[in-house]
Amino acid sequence: MFAQLRNALARNASVFQTARTASTGANGKAWAVDLMASEAGISKKQAEIALKSLLAGIEGAVVNGERVTFQGFGSFESVARAARTGVNPQNPTQKINIPASIAPKFKAGSAFKSAVNK
């Protein structure tokens, strides 16, 4: 599924141009659904289902320790953070223990970085 979506986006570069010229309002789920519906010629309900499926797929893969890469756009993965000692911001003289954790990470791809730096 990811490969099909990636290939469709690569063939239809106008999606990225439309995204750049879209309204300057908050860009969130509703914005993405509207963009997907208009570019793909599908209903907003179908676009919402597709977006939810994509995000759930990315989340599931990252939770399972997999890396999800969209060529040129970026990659999602999980990274382990070691336990460490920090400083209590309310009382800088007090040390606190920060437990080890696993965090999601996004790394922008070269094409995305180039588009942002233009």
pLDDT of residue 73: 96
Closest CA to 15 of 34, 45, 35, 33: 35
CATH match of 2-116 with 2.140.10.10: no
Sheet containing 74-81, strands listed edge to edge, beginning at the edge strand earlier in sequence: 68-70, 74-81, 101-108
Q: What is the pTM (predicted TM-score) of this model? A: 0.70
Q: Stretch 38-46: mean pLDDT, rounded? A: 95
Q: Which pLDDT does position 16 carry in this prediction?
A: 47
> CA–CA separation, 57 vs 117, rounded Å?
29
C-alpha span between 96 and 85 (Å, rounded) = 6
pLDDT at position 14 is 47
Asked whether the predicted pLDDT for residue 4 surpasses 70, the reply is: no
The predicted model gives 87-100 an average pLDDT of 95
pLDDT, one tens digit per residue, over 18-38 is 554 545 566 899 999 999 999
Domain boundaries in the chain?
2-116
> Of all residues in the chain, what percent carry a pLDDT higher than 90?
76
